[in-house]
Chains A and B, each alone.
Chain A
Amino acid sequence: MVGSTSRGLHRFAVGLSLCVVGLIAAGGLVKSLEAGLSVPDWPTSYGGLNPPRWWEIENVRAEHGHRLIAGTVATLTVLLAVWAGRREPRQWVRRIAYAAVAAVLLQALLGGLTVLFFLPTAISVSHAALAQLYLCLVVTFAAVTSRQWLMKAAKPPLDGDLRPAATATTALIYLQVLIGALVRHTGSGLAIPDFPRMFGGWWPDRLDPSIGIHLAHRLGAVAVTVAVVFLGVRVLRSRSGLGGIAVAMLVLLAVQVTLGAFIIWTGRAVLPNTWHVPVGASLLGTSWLLTLGVWRGSTLAAPTEAARSERAAAAA
């Protein structure tokens, strides 16, 4: 009963995770087009539900489309919580779903406030930061309702405990995402206009707040690269059953660094500037998934009685 119900719930959560990445991509597009204030009111859009010809006008399509996608994803999150509340036996898992609902509602509020207050950096960055936490909540729900989580015990890593490295890498990526949000919302994306050099050298010969934020993001990228490669290689060598996630994380890292370079080389063209956001979120999501995987076996991952029974049945 629990196993079959969890499969559907798990699949729904996986789908929702992808939707959240799509929502983050839509938010990235809004910022890349500087379309955040093209719909000046909230919660209405030009005084109504849908502005006239909104689909035909690029910036309005981006901003209003972001709102529509957000509304859809929020509804799906509420459905997830309802489903979990009715079928999920583990209270702490249900609470993850409820936390996701709270996060998406707060996220909607932050989105509205940043429009009404003309995009203040603090609110816009908070909006971006909460989006990543919301994604992590949904990813967590998807992970802990997976068959692998319920049925299998994690194989012990062959080269030592990966938990500190995985946790630190995820924290580092989240910090980097926050700095990235600061770069975008302070208009510091081209504060250092060349790449990989900086003003023609390997270290900037001048400094102001924008250059400082931009520089922090580049240094953060180096730190994240080292951490992700280190963690990825260790996970692959450990044969812990998490190799697929590690490979995905390494691929996303390569794509993300490439996009970052193209943002500079193209003068913040919309395409790389937009995709840099959801790919960064996906990198965070996979790192978080990996972290959950290596922490499996702790109290968080204690299987339910039902799961134990199902595991025993599967073994038989």
Chain B
Amino acid sequence: MKMTVFRLALGLSAIAVLAACGGGGGSDSAPTTAAPEAAAPAPAPAAGTGSIAGLVTFTGEDPDAAINMDADPVCSGMHADGASGETVVADGGNLANVFVYVKEGVTGSYTAPAEAVLLDQKGCTYAPHVSGIQTGQKLVIRNSDPTLHNVHALPVNNPEFNQGQPFQNMELEKSFANPEVMVRFKCDVHPWMSSYMGVLDHPFFAVSGSDGSFTIEGLPAGDYVVEAWHETLGAKTQNVSVGDGALAISFDYSA
């Protein structure tokens, strides 16, 4: 009887150690060599010839403080001169990382581009910080860093996922089935890392560059609601009428 209890206890002990410490096994995504080089979403062919070319401006102080990456020596080593936050990137009064998209008025269905969108983890930051993707379009998430990351997506209308990428150049592929503005990505290993991705069922979106400019092309003529989204400064909408040419609009933010 005592021997049976002893054996049972040994078995339980083995289970406990395995359960608590992990029992080995393969990683959740193997490194691959084929990878896209660019992250820019390629709009699907659209019937329209109209476009919206705009500018996002910013008035106020840049609130981003320096990021302390001491939690991972590899990260801090890659930013010997210090790293700054990417929340508000304003150059000469122009605001980058604003997701601008057609919120209302788009009709018809648009096939997702064959090109993948790349979300890279580089220098212990996400590149790009803000991006867009179409429903069904392939998303490649790469770890370019010589340290481990976990990729934790927090969508509301799509399944949440959290996967580890312990080795450099590992990649994993994902896609989103449902539109959602915005899906946040974060790394729980490096709390300062976050990225935002707009998921739409059409290709009419853009992200403002470092000069604050953006361009949405291929729009059919018509009336639309255009929204600009910024992670901390909020969303602004405009009603626009697009013809065959380029329409110039602007969104003005202030701190």
Task: Name A's B-contacting residues (CB within 8 A).
Answer: 33-53, 56-60, 67-68, 70-72, 74-75, 77-79, 81-82, 85-86, 101, 104-105, 108-109, 111-112, 118
Contact = CB atoms under 8 A, between A and B. Distances in A.
Given A57-B189, A75-B17, A82 B23 contact: no
Nearest to A81: B9
Interface residues of B, number: 39
Interface stretch (B58-66, B111-119, B145-153): B145-153
Contact of B162 (A53, A104, A118): A118
Contact of B9 (A40, A82, A111): A82
A106 to B, nearest CB: 10
12 contacts: A40-B152, A41-B22, A43-B18, A43-B23, A45-B21, A57-B71, A78-B12, A79-B9, A105-B15, A105-B19, A108-B19, A112-B19
Contacts of A68: 20-21
Interface stretch (B163-171, B196-204, B208-216, B245-253): B163-171
B12 A48 contact: no
Interface stretch (B25-33, B84-92, B96-104, B177-185): B25-33
B73 A56 contact: yes
A37 B161 CA distance: 11
B12 to A, nearest CB: 5
Chain B CB count within 10 A is highest, among A68, A77, A82, A111, for A82
A82 B166 contact: no
Contact of A85 (B5, B15, B189): B5
B166 A51 contact: yes
A39 B164 contact: yes
B2 A85 contact: yes
B20 A71 contact: yes
3 closest residue pairs by CB, A with B: A71-B20, A47-B27, A74-B16
B133 to A, nearest CB: 22
A5 to B, nearest CB: 14
Contacts of B18: 43
Contacts of B71: 57-59
B148 A46 contact: yes
Given A38-B188, A51-B164, A68-B20, 19 more contacts: A36-B188, A44-B22, A46-B164, A47-B26, A48-B24, A49-B24, A56-B74, A57-B71, A57-B72, A58-B71, A67-B22, A74-B13, A79-B13, A81-B9, A81-B12, A85-B2, A86-B6, A108-B19, A118-B162
B152 A37 contact: yes
Contact of A82 (B5, B73, B164): B5
Interface of B: 2, 5-6, 9-10, 12-13, 15-28, 71-74, 147-148, 150, 152, 160, 162-164, 166-167, 188-191
A81 B10 CA distance: 10
A56 B73 CA distance: 7
A44 B189 CA distance: 16
A37 B150 contact: yes
Contact of B25 (A34, A35, A40, A48): A48
B16 A104 contact: yes
A43 B22 contact: yes
Contacts of B74: 53, 56
B18 to A, nearest CB: 6
A67 B162 contact: no
Contact of A37 (B6, B17, B72, B188): B188
Nearest to A60: B189
